[in-house]
């Protein structure tokens, strides 16, 4: 077979071994290696290796497309392009790959595919030497060096290096999100965003650390993690500053999204409970609390979540990773925003202020919960009973009554409590600490409840009166004990 090919194609390239029937074909091919482009367009100055490519290109300037498809009426610059296109309608794929059997409509498609098997990358960047399988890939890459951005948005004037980036950007203006997740229905503007999102459901983590073997869903996650090994940090310039609170951002879009917090505008309303949200994705995630949908599953323990962000927060429990360290006290955190909130305990910064009473908070969530004290709004309803609450933390604490769940355990005696406050009140039993002091007599107590009970003695208030004999008592427990003497 090799001998037959030599006879059929006697002209061989010394650089890569490719063979040709005619010397003219070899001469044209050699320009791939030499990067010679002798044919220049007089209109725009673009150069080409082959004369026929120049003729085809020149038709772009004249808008001439003389070859029309009879099936769909689409027009083409030359007959070859038309024939290739018509195979879409006929389904004819005449060019087969000898290595894997895959078929193609055109010889160029086959040639590009075969480079996957051979590893050939004949198109080299003259600026940095990077090699590519396709000339189109090289053209896109060279724009990084030249700064050329030929694709401009007609709405806002923003320019892009690739037409695909422009199409994805234009969906910001149209609101179109054509790439929907088959698992949870969440939609995205571009295919790359959908691919990244799908890894939440599949658990796929293709980016692995060569130091410790830890894997990540995104390359950015791996980059952040690597800095924990090297001890280095990358400080990105934050040029976009919020005039309300001074918080800075690397992107203007992030600043615009943040400013909604201060404006208080919540245009997205839930049809079930009437609650409003600042962002559409927040409404979508909230609606799952009504439907009970939980599309996000932890691969470690099987726990399910309504939000992808909640799953990611939860997974830190299993990994134990805390890549964000406080420069002031050395305390480490699993999430960057938790570190930012913690740092305000050192700086004293409270950027979130209540418009009604002026009280300031370190967290926006605390402000939102506080603002409900001024209104009668109780948006968090228990699914077990009709009781409603102003804050999500209050609802979670209440739901432990139904579940009989007590997650806060005393290390000294093992006694368990539903809330952290209950554990805090219990601890003085072991330490002997009595932080609650009576202002009248100086007597101290371990619990605030006991202090309030004691203070009744000083105000001479005896609200519990026996109907049998008229005797009055400070406390209900003393009254009940006395009442039993009559019965």
Asked if the domains 36-92 and 267-321 are classified in one and the same CATH topology, the answer is yes
- pLDDT per residue over 334-370, tens digit each? 777 788 888 888 888 888 888 888 888 888 878 887 8
pLDDT digits (tens, 9 = 90+) for 272-304: 888 888 777 778 778 877 877 776 777 777 788
User: What is the pLDDT at residue 20?
Assistant: 84
Q: What is the pLDDT of residue 237?
A: 56
Query: What are 302-317's pLDDT values in tens digits?
Result: 788 777 767 777 777 7
Backbone angles phi, psi at 320, to 5 degrees: 70, 10
User: Does position 448 have pLDDT exceeding 70, yes or no?
Assistant: yes
Domain extents in the chain? 36-92, 267-321
CATH number of 267-321: 3.30.160.60
Mean pLDDT for the stretch of residues 380-388? 87
Kindly report the number of other CB atoms within 10 A of residue 69's CB atom.
16
**pLDDT value of position 366:** 81
User: Which H, E and C letters describe 369-436, residue by residue?
Assistant: HHHCCCCCCCCEECCCCCCEECCHHHHHHHHHHHHCCCCEECCCCCCEECCHHHHHHHCHHHHCCCCE
Three-state SS annotation for 306-318: CCHHHHHHHHHHH
Model confidence at 220: pLDDT above 80:
no
Structure confidence by residue, pLDDT tens digits, 89-118: 787 888 888 888 888 877 878 888 888 888
∠ at Cα 100 (17, 208), nearest 5°? 95
CB atoms within 10 A of CB 425: 16
CATH architecture type of domain 36-92: 2-Layer Sandwich (3.30)
Q: pLDDT tens digits for 231-254?
A: 554 445 567 888 888 787 777 777
d(CA 279, CA 355): 21
Could you say which DSSP state residue 351 is in? -
CB atoms within 10 A of CB 264: 10
Q: What CA–CA distance (Å, rounded) separates 138 from 130?
A: 9
């Amino acid at each position: 077979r090799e001998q037959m090919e030599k006879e059929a194609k006697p002209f061989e390239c010394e650089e890569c071994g490719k063979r040709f029937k005619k010397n003219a074909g070899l001469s044209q091919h050699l320009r791939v290696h030499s990067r010679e482009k002798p044919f220049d367009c007089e209109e725009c100055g673009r150069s080409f290796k082959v004369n026929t490519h120049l003729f085809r290109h020149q038709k772009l300037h004249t808008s001439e497309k003389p070859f029309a498809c009879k099936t769909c009426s689409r027009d083409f610059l030359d007959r070859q392009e038309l024939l290739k296109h018509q195979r879409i309608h006929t389904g004819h794929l005449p060019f087969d790959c000898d290595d894997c059997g895959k078929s193609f409509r055109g010889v160029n498609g086959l040639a590009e595919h075969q480079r996957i098997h051979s590893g050939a990358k004949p198109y080299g960047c003259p600026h940095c030497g990077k090699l590519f399988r396709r000339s189109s890939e090289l053209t896109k890459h060279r724009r990084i060096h030249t700064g050329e951005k030929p694709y401009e948005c007609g709405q806002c004037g923003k320019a892009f290096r690739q037409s695909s980036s422009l199409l994805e950007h234009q969906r910001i203006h149209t609101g179109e999100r054509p790439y929907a997740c088959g698992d949870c229905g969440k939609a995205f503007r571009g295919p790359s965003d959908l691919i990244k999102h799908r890894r939440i459901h599949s658990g796929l983590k293709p980016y692995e650390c060569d130091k410790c073997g830890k894997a990540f869903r995104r390359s950015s996650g791996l980059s952040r993690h690597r800095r924990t090994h090297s001890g280095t940090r990358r400080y990105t310039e934050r040029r976009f500053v919020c005039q309300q609170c001074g918080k800075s951002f690397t992107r203007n879009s992030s600043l615009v999204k943040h400013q909604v917090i201060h404006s208080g505008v919540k245009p997205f309303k839930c049809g079930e409970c009437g609650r409003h949200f600042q962002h559409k994705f927040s409404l979508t995630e909230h609606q799952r609390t009504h439907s009970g949908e939980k599309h996000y599953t932890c691969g470690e323990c099987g726990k399910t979540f309504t939000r992808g962000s909640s799953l990611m927060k939860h997974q830190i429990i299993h990994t134990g990773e805390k890549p964000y360290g406080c420069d002031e006290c050395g305390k480490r955190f699993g999430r960057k925003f938790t570190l930012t909130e913690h740092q305000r305990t050192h700086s004293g910064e409270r950027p979130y202020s209540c418009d009604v009473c002026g009280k300031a908070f370190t967290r926006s969530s605390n402000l939102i919960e506080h603002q409900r004290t001024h209104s009668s709004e109780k948006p968090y309803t228990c699914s077990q009973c009709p009781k409603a609450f102003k804050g999500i933390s209050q609802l979670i604490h209440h739901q432990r009554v139904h579940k009989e769940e007590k997650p806060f355990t005393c290390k000294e005696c093992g006694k368990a409590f539903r809330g952290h406050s209950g554990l805090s009140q219990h601890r003085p039993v072991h330490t002997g600490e009595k932080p609650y002091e009576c202002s009248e007599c100086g007597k101290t107590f371990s619990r605030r409840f006991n202090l309030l009970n004691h203070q009744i003695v000083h105000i001479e208030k005896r609200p519990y009166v026996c109907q049998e004999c008229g005797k009055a008592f400070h406390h209900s427990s003393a009254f009940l004990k006395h009442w039993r003497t009559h019965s």
